[in-house]
Structure 1
Amino acid sequence: MRQKLAVLAIAVLVLSLFAPAAAGSSGTVTPTAADATQAECEFPIEVTDATGETITLEEPPETVVALQPSDARTVFEIGAEDRLVGVPDNPAVADLETDGIESVTDGYQIQHETVVDLDPDVVLAANTTSESDIETLRDAGLDVYHFGEARSIDDVRNNTRRTGELTGECAGAEESVQWMDERLEIVDEALEGADRPLAYYPMGADGTTPGTDSFIHDVLTTAGVEDLSEAASGSFYPQLSEETIVEEDPEWIIYPDDSAEPRMPDVAEATTAYQSGNLVAVDANQISQPTPQVIYPIVEIVGEVHPEAYAEATADLNETNETADENETNESDGETEDTIPGFGVPVAVGAVVAAVGVLARRR
């Protein structure tokens, strides 16, 4: 088992050098001819959104507005950020390179006049966008695509592909989905037959947690833990009772890193997880936004729940990086540099350095 997880760490983290996107990068490159042919967008297209509204785009859009953080992040992920003319202005997209792109929100409040004045070819609106906002923009004559609720990793795949269709970047979207699937396959193989300890993902002092009908639940179970939300009465975002938390006694607490400590009922401090210091903080944006970056929390959770295997993998990874650095130095003499949509080489190197830091960190 430890050997499998070591392979997981090396494979996933080294392959992260070639991720299809990184928040904040603007470099793009055309995928291989085969990929581009297989995933080439065809116009005109006619699609129906979660509200039942049918949208027709006669040609690839030149201007796109993303109303929500996940909309903007997905556009960056697939390499279509050059079409963005409007993005939200709030902490959830602070890591994206949005200089020169108009802000269309005041915090989380959509500024309708700003969006209308931009006159985009299409507006992307994640499920968190209110129906009144959608109606206002449609009444102004804009084509607005309202995404449905993402309740699984498969929904993330579908939303990524649909974003590709709506932005004219089908090849980049398919490449992102393939990047996800390659890493998920490694995770699945490494965790085959592994013990799955009980984990609790708290979202508030009232006991709220992502339920079994949420994509965060899918992220947790894919990462090799049993989700405490399965003991709750609701399936979407239920509230766990204090009695359930104490009786089930989770071994791990996984929480978003937008707070220094888990936001949870006080009784959770009596659990094995809290008393043992088995706390895993994952990137709040990556785990809460249904984009391809949900892969990163999955890998981090596996690493924290199986620290010994990851410690072994770190040593091997360092050797691999040294070899890669030597090869990169030799290749740089030829002044050749490859990039993948949304992910330049400097960003890739930084991603691996950060990943190694994650492996060495014990909470």
Structure 2
Amino acid sequence: MTATYRALALSALLVVSLVGFAAAPAAASHGGDTADCEFPLTVTDDTGTGVTLDEPAETVVALDAASAQTFWEVNASDRVVGMPVRSYTEYLNGSRNRTAVLNDDGSVNVETVVELDADLVVAPNYVQNATIQQLRDANQTVYRAPFESSFEAIYAKTELYGHFVGNCEAGARTADETRNEVESIREAVSGEDSPRVLYYFYGTVAGEGTFIGDMVETAGGTNLAAEAGITSFQQISDETIVEQNPDWIVSTDDTGAINTSREPFQTTTAVQNDQVLRVDADLVSQAAPRVVEPLRVMAEAFHPEAFAEGTETETATGSETATATETDSEGDGAGFGVAVAIGALLGASFLARRR
């Protein structure tokens, strides 16, 4: 990411921490049973509005990377006509051929979205109400997603987005494969000692009620931000870092996300023991199925003994794990445009769809 995009990403997370988390108790209902894949479909979104699709959306605008990734994962990449065309979506094959819908400052280009006139516009919860209303006043069907606070929210979103485009089977399958991979990792580290972990980037940490916090705990760590009483994505003081003294620090792989050469990091157990882990900045920040990649990287770092060479991890099909590979074909499924760090392994069934 460039410095500008890093700042935008940080701003978005801080907005989520102030708005999305506070609204979490009244999170939008996905409504109905997506298993039947029937239409018309009506769901209540994060604004409390009932959003109705009379038939599957043939064209979709995704206003954030996580939504775009989810449509790729439910075999609906061909439906996406507009999305953020940025460095952080380049791993989605064919994304450069879509219409860019964000301004340079990261705000929504309302005029461009309206010109696309898609059957459905999907927005993250940090898009302002005024922008959502502008689009609706221009006769756009807009669904604003709720704040994703856990893996369960990602599974539900995956199924819902599959229903939006009439690909319910693909949505359910992707959600199940993601869930199975997450649970296989959870099981692999169960019973292991739980290191104290701080997820930190640009002065911000992932506290209680965040999917990244859920990742840390699923990977077999104790989320120190949550232990310190921090909720959602918030800034943390140097004093709190010293007090919590993490065994591990997890950050993103962009330059500038963390400077471990300065205090308070230098005196932490994590830095002194060379236990600072950097994960893919794009995948870890996008609440979508591919969070299993940085999740496994974390788990393997925290508990290498649980993933020793020759250890088999059960997948949905019972097959042995396979190494993630990159593909250049677009197709309906997405290829892995970003190599998995430290040789992370993903279940063969989870990869087969993306090749």
TM-score (norm 2): 0.76
Partner of 1:287: 284
The offset of 1:355, in angstroms, is 6.2
Worse-matched range after superposition: 127-136 or 234-243: 234-243
The offset of 1:119, in angstroms, is 0.9
Pick the aligned partner of 1:59 from 32, 44, 55: 55
Aligned partners of 1:232 and 1:238 also within 8 Å: no
Matched, 1:211 2:214: no
Pick the aligned partner of 2:233 from 229, 234, 237: 237
Task: Map 1:167-316 onto structure 2 (within 5 A).
Answer: 167-205=165-203, 208-259=204-255, 262=258, 266-313=263-310
Taking a change above 3 Å as real, the CA distance of residues 243 and 356 of structure 1, as seen in their structure-2 partners, is closer
User: How many Å separate the matches in 2 of 1:158 and 1:263?
Assistant: 36
Which amino acid in structure 2 is aligned with residue 300 of structure 1? V
Q: Deviations over 1:41-97 (max 9, x none)?
A: 211111110101111111111111111111111111111111111111222212222
The offset of 1:192, in angstroms, is 1.8
Aligned partners of 1:231 and 1:244 also within 8 Å: no
Partner of 2:22: none
Pick the aligned partner of 2:333 from 342, 353, 363: 342
User: How many Å separate the matches in 2 of 1:203 and 1:261?
Assistant: 5
Task: Map 1:40-55 onto structure 2 (within 5 A).
Answer: 40-55=36-51
Q: Which has the higher helix share?
A: 1
Where 1:202 maps in the other structure, the secondary structure is strand
Where 2:297 maps in the other structure, the secondary structure is helix
The offset of 1:303, in angstroms, is 0.9
Aligned partners of 1:40 and 1:171 also within 8 Å: no
Task: Map 1:325-336 onto structure 2 (within 5 A).
Answer: none
The offset of 1:279, in angstroms, is 1.1
The offset of 1:315, in angstroms, is 11
User: How many Å separate the matches in 2 of 1:170 and 1:210?
Assistant: 32
Q: Percent identity?
A: 36
Where 1:148 maps in the other structure, the secondary structure is coil
User: How many Å separate the matches in 1 of 2:257 and 2:63?
Assistant: 30
Aligned partners of 2:190 and 2:220 also within 8 Å: no
Taking a change above 3 Å as real, the CA distance of residues 358 and 261 of structure 1, as seen in their structure-2 partners, is farther
Where 1:51 maps in the other structure, the secondary structure is coil
The offset of 1:171, in angstroms, is 1.3
Taking a change above 3 Å as real, the CA distance of residues 160 and 358 of structure 1, as seen in their structure-2 partners, is closer
Where 1:145 maps in the other structure, the secondary structure is strand
Pick the aligned partner of 1:133 from 126, 131, 134: 131
The offset of 1:129, in angstroms, is 1.6
User: How many Å separate the matches in 1 of 2:129 and 2:45?
Assistant: 13
Aligned partners of 1:200 and 1:229 also within 8 Å: yes
Any unmatched runs of 5+ in structure 1? 1-37, 326-338
Partner of 2:163: 165
Aligned partners of 2:296 and 2:344 also within 8 Å: no
- The number of aligned residues is 298
Taking a change above 3 Å as real, the CA distance of residues 354 and 48 of structure 1, as seen in their structure-2 partners, is closer
Q: Decide which structure has the larger Cα Rg and report it.
A: 1
Taking a change above 3 Å as real, the CA distance of residues 263 and 324 of structure 1, as seen in their structure-2 partners, is closer
User: How many Å separate the matches in 2 of 1:177 and 1:212?
Assistant: 23
User: How many Å separate the matches in 2 of 1:79 and 1:106?
Assistant: 27
